Structure 1
Amino acid sequence: MAVTEDKSLNRRSANYAPPLWSFDHVQSLSSKYTGEDYEARVDSLKKSVKTMIQEVVGNPLKTLELVDNLQRLGISYHFEEEISQVLEMIYNDYYKTQEQWNGMDMNLKALGFRLLRQHGHHVPQEMFLNFKVKAENDKPQSDEDNNHVVGMLNLYEASYHSFEDESILDDARDFTTKYLKESVDRIDGSSSLGSLINHALELPLHWRIARLEAKWFIEAYREIVSPTLMELAILDFNMVQAINLQDLKESSRWWRNTCWDKKLSFSRDRLVEGYMWTIGVWSLPNFSLGRRTLTKVNAIITAIDDIYDIYGTLDELQQFTDVITRWDINAVEELPDYMKICFLGSFNVINEMAYNTLANSNSGVFILPYLKKAWVDLCNAYLLEAQWYQSGYIPTLEEYLHNASVSISVPVGLMHCNFLTSNYTSTQEIQQCIQRSANIVHYSALILRLADDLGTSSDEMARGDNPKSIQCYMHETGATEDEARNYMKSLINKTWKKLTKERAGAAATCEFLMEFECATNLARMAPFMYSQGDGYGRPQLAKSNILSLLFNPIQDLH
């Protein structure tokens, strides 16, 4: 039986701000950084950089500094094989045993630790066992000697690659944080080193999204890094940005055709911000189709979230959840019109992805059951939150986080990433992958949820939403809001250690999955979107970063 939306209901409204960028504006954007001339210049520069890599082999510090620069500049993906080879050599020659690392200075030891751990090599925290004594003995005689500060900065960054229960690295983080704060007072804050220290203290490199870091590093270090590296970095950034821009324009046309901005006007219209999430997850040129697909997924998640969180009645939400669970196109008649539109749009996108995977695969693997389950899990998590809201129930922090790590939508997003980046040959292989990646998906979701709550709970509580992690903890323990916020930050730190260990374990095997990197990158999006508040609900907060990454190319060197 068809259901008509009851217009007399006094439905909630979040009064979300309108989108910052119109369809016409997005479609008008263009970039000159396309075509064979630019590609030819990049190929020439890549050959020069490969020669540079070979020339520093034999000098471990210069090799590691070059690898670090390639990563910070966002161009290391061009040289994955070369980087893997030189890091393997450095590990075997300098880091494999205690005898090898004992005589190293702190700079070499810390930079090597970070890069080698990042690439899956086993390097123990014990190499920093006496770091305080070493730091005291190596103090420079002159304020002009900054090598000691650079070593402490590299140790600070290395400490963020710690695993659980690595107390030496915890001590190193505390020690270097204090040291760098004191050092930056005597170093010119506008100098390259002073700028790098302030940047690191604001947020460690390990927690930053690569694309934003690349642009910052290029602009901050263009007079210091070699001209060859800098020219390649600028060209690459602008050429990748041109590809990203085309992806966004295609996604914008899809969004316009859905009519959701008008038919679901109560929901956030965040096409550009949703696309930014895909840049954070994977920005490289070879993931263009994946970004377009994930942008659709993000738009669907936003609409469904707002239906459950704001607009739908509890009866409607239960009915919608039932229809999603059945995944039956005939059941759409049971829904009110606005839910019909949402369900049909979602149904088409998700089924299309399953069809494309089946049609372009020789294995005959059918992924729709896995996608459906992820969406059913998400809607059930949303429904439970709606039931809590209607009943006035305040869950314990454990109850809240168990459900909220699903409702943050990371599991459903990463399920799509999984199939967009992998070619499975059997359902058994899919199930093994899902089992293998369960922890890293959960840790990524937990970090994003807690960061989301820290950034958005003030706005959401002001409009009468469900209690978030902060309020649940306050209710359960009697803590003040400041105490609760500090506790959530400590949970983020602990969860980052777990996630880093999972990622390092995956990188150490031949089974490293792109999904593991996508999960880590999603966690990195947390400070990008929520450090200053709700950057998704209030898009003005994220505007400058979006302009920088999507719309404004880096100016040429000349």
Structure 2
Amino acid sequence: MVQVLVNFPLTCIQPNLNILKTNSRSGPLHHAYRVQKTWQTRCSNQSAELTIDRRTANYQPSSWSHILFEPTSETDNEWENQTKILNKLESEVGSMLDCEDLEPQALIELINDIDQLGLSYRYRQKIKNALNKLRDLEDATGDKIKSSLHTSALYFRLLRQHGFEVSPDVFERFKDQNGNFNEDLSREVRGILSLFEASHLAYEEENILNEAKSFTSLLLKDSKKLVGANMSEQITHALELPYHHRMRRLEARRNIEAYAQRGEKNQVLLELAKLDFNLVQTKFQSDVQEVSRWWKVMGLADKLDFARDRLMESFFWSVGMAFEPQFSKCRTAVTKALTLITVLDDIYDIYGSLDELEQFTDAVVRWDLDAMKDLPEYMKLFFLALYNTINDLAYETLKEKGEMIIPCLKKAWADMCKSFLQEAQWYHKKGTPTFEEYMENGWISSGGAVLLIHAYFLVTENISNEATESLDNHHDFLRWPCIIYRLTNDFSSTDEIERGETTNAITCYMRGTGLSEEFAKKNVSKMIEECLMKMNKQLSSPSPFEENFIEVAMDLARIAFCQYQYGDAHSAPDVKAKNRIVSVMFDPIQLREAENDVKGGNN
């Protein structure tokens, strides 16, 4: 069992310094400071003091400062019993997918339920086989599917989601003689909601799906007051963020709880979903123990106390990118990378002088311990932590997969540091980049490319030269989710603006076009939509990457939406953000129904 004690700090401890406070707003977590202090490096063997002009963002400390791991209360027999139950239920659900007598509509609903409950990773090939069977039977059963707006939209979404080519022309039958969607459809709220969800799997220039999105959005907003509480909540949830863009494990938790309240439900499927969620959750807890030990040994949270300590938030990102239980090594590597990126970002954005940052960037580019000899002590400490962590990952990969990945990893970190340095130069030299210059640099400075490149080597079964070269050369499928990462981050970057760091996508767009903030945000949102449509197309297009990595790249965009939907849940996590982490990683779903079924079966 894992017991988590979460601290919710009411205030931040103020440093005992001579502080000139500027650009503040109410609330202890939103002060921006220019700090003039006598600074002595904490890890230095020398006693010489340096007077350096440094900033601090006054970030809130980690809310996960006390994580107590206690021995599990489950015996080996209990664990083995749960695994046996899961295997039995998994086999039963697999048989349902293989059933030849299942009506097409019922099969589509079953596939959707499996997906929504977070189980599709267990049935990837069976689902593809079932969808292929449905396609083969379209001539005979097509009218049964196509006559229903809900079934048509659901079938379309599932096909695209699982990499099948399907034309959106199937929705032409729901238009009137003037080429507009039929207003009578407003009575089919469930179908309208399904069409709204399907429209988010559009490719570029698929006008009918753009029309469908606009049409359904308006109808759903008008319908919320006319339907029951449950349907109204579903509509609100979808309009806030559609299913295709949501973090999969968090959504699975929500859908399991909602499915349990249904009047008609598949009890076998429900109990499998509950058991799967909890067993995968225990895997997360084991992974957290590992990265927590690593972070404690690193000691950076204590030594570099000007920077954010966001280990748990970083692990949550890794779960968003690769939740499947077999990807523990990926989650561990991504967590380490993002935790280090978070500290490094604060070194470049807040703490380091421009001369120091130029020296540090050179050291990372050279990837040479000799290059760090002239760095200040805090940078030496960080560089060595980074160097050892990345080299350890490369060693493990060479040992297990026979692949030498150091060149690719060090290039990724060097590219990111150069992009961080560019942003620091803009700030220190009062430079004003164009929107195009900002974005060309910003998608790399998001850090997403580093995370994806680490993930590639740990979720890919057969590492190929073509894929590795594509990563080195910034393949579009590396770039698109990182653009989304950057832009969603910029939408939430109010704290950076208050510190005077006004260079973000929105402000650059406003300066370059003369448009208002409202119009700038609309155009930046359009860029996000364009990237999403390009990524949708990649699901069914030839690619140098395996399916596992394509899903990870899609999931990077999803976790970015999740973490920046209500502000910056990485830098300034609030109670809602912490509750999301607890629900996915520490709070199990009750299994009483499953336990009762097993006991009854043994009598």
Query: Does TM, scored on the shorter chain, surpass 0.5?
Result: yes
State the alpha-carbon separation in 2 of the partners of residues 319 and 93 from structure 1.
Answer: 64
Q: Aligned match of 2:435 in 397, 403, 407?
A: 397
Q: In structure 1, what residue type is equivalent to 2:155?
A: G
Contact 1:400 1:469 in 2 (8 A): yes
Matched ranges for 1:375-524 at <5 A: 375-424=413-462, 427=465, 430-431=468-469, 438-456=475-493, 458-506=494-542, 512-524=546-558
Structure 1 or 2: larger strand share?
A: 2
Matched, 1:18 2:61: yes
Inter-CA distance 25–279: structure 2 relative to 1 (3 Å threshold): same
- 1:104 is displaced (CA, Å) by 2.8
- 1:150 is displaced (CA, Å) by 1.5
Inter-CA distance 31–467: structure 2 relative to 1 (3 Å threshold): farther
State the alpha-carbon separation in 1 of the partners of residues 208 and 274 from structure 2.
Answer: 38
Q: Secondary structure at the residue paired with 1:12?
A: strand
Matched, 1:543 2:578: yes
State the alpha-carbon separation in 2 of the partners of residues 10 and 494 from structure 1.
Answer: 42
- 1:335 is displaced (CA, Å) by 0.8
Q: Aligned match of 1:82 in 122, 126, 129?
A: 126
Q: Aligned match of 1:7 in 40, 47, 50?
A: 50
Counterpart position of 1:275 = 315
Q: Deviations over 1:332-391 (max 9, x none)?
A: 211111001110000001111111111123xx4311001111011000000000000011
Contact 2:163 2:540 in 1 (8 A): yes
State the alpha-carbon separation in 1 of the partners of residues 382 and 471 from structure 2.
Answer: 30
Q: In structure 2, what residue type is equivalent to 1:554?
A: I
The higher relative CO (CA closer than 8 Å, separation ≥ 6) is in 1
State the alpha-carbon separation in 2 of the partners of residues 96 and 405 from structure 1.
Answer: 48
State the alpha-carbon separation in 2 of the partners of residues 375 and 205 from structure 1.
Answer: 33
Q: In structure 2, what residue type is equivalent to 1:494?
A: E
Q: Deviations over 1:145-176 (max 9, x none)?
A: xxx22211111111000010111000001111
Contact 2:195 2:216 in 1 (8 A): yes
In structure 2, list runs of 5 or more residues that go unmatched.
1-43, 594-603
State the alpha-carbon separation in 1 of the partners of residues 68 and 132 from structure 2.
Answer: 45
Q: Secondary structure at the residue paired with 1:10?
A: strand
- 1:138 is displaced (CA, Å) by 5.9
TM-score, normalised to structure 2, is 0.85
Q: Deviations over 1:97-152 (max 9, x none)?
A: 9x879953212211111001111111111111242339648659xx7xxxx22211
Counterpart position of 2:91 = 47
Which is further off, 131-140 or 324-333? 131-140
Q: Aligned match of 1:94 in 113, 129, 138?
A: 138
Counterpart position of 1:247 = 287
- CA-atom RMSD, angstroms? 2.5
Q: Aligned match of 1:298 in 324, 338, 344?
A: 338
Matched ranges for 1:9-158 at <5 A: 9-22=52-65, 24-28=66-70, 32=74, 35-55=79-99, 57-94=101-138, 104-133=147-176, 136=182, 139=185, 148-158=188-198
In structure 1, list runs of 5 or more residues that go unmatched.
none
State the alpha-carbon separation in 1 of the partners of residues 139 and 537 from structure 2.
Answer: 19
Counterpart position of 1:358 = 398
Inter-CA distance 95–451: structure 2 relative to 1 (3 Å threshold): farther
Contact 1:275 1:291 in 2 (8 A): yes
Contact 2:408 2:468 in 1 (8 A): no
Counterpart position of 1:527 = 561
Q: Secondary structure at the residue paired with 1:267?
A: coil
State the alpha-carbon separation in 2 of the partners of residues 295 and 217 from structure 1.
Answer: 26
State the alpha-carbon separation in 2 of the partners of residues 266 and 488 from structure 1.
Answer: 32
Contact 1:91 1:116 in 2 (8 A): no
Contact 1:321 1:383 in 2 (8 A): yes
State the alpha-carbon separation in 1 of the partners of residues 325 and 488 from structure 2.
Answer: 29
Identity %: 38
Counterpart position of 2:326 = 286
Structure 1 or 2: larger helix share?
A: 1
State the alpha-carbon separation in 1 of the partners of residues 284 and 578 from structure 2.
Answer: 17
Q: Secondary structure at the residue paired with 2:51?
A: coil
Which is further off, 374-383 or 468-477? 468-477
Counterpart position of 2:234 = 196
- 1:29 is displaced (CA, Å) by 8.7
- 1:487 is displaced (CA, Å) by 1.9
State the alpha-carbon separation in 2 of the partners of residues 115 and 77 from structure 1.
Answer: 14
Q: Secondary structure at the residue paired with 2:55?
A: coil
Q: Deviations over 1:57-76 (max 9, x none)?
A: 55111111100100110012
How many pairs align? 541
Inter-CA distance 402–32: structure 2 relative to 1 (3 Å threshold): farther
Q: In structure 1, what residue type is equivalent to 2:301?
A: D
Q: In structure 2, what residue type is equivalent to 1:431?
A: E
Counterpart position of 2:377 = 337
Inter-CA distance 432–96: structure 2 relative to 1 (3 Å threshold): farther
Contact 1:101 1:109 in 2 (8 A): no
State the alpha-carbon separation in 2 of the partners of residues 30 and 478 from structure 1.
Answer: 60
State the alpha-carbon separation in 1 of the partners of residues 114 and 470 from structure 2.
Answer: 34
Q: In structure 1, what residue type is equivalent to 2:337?
A: V
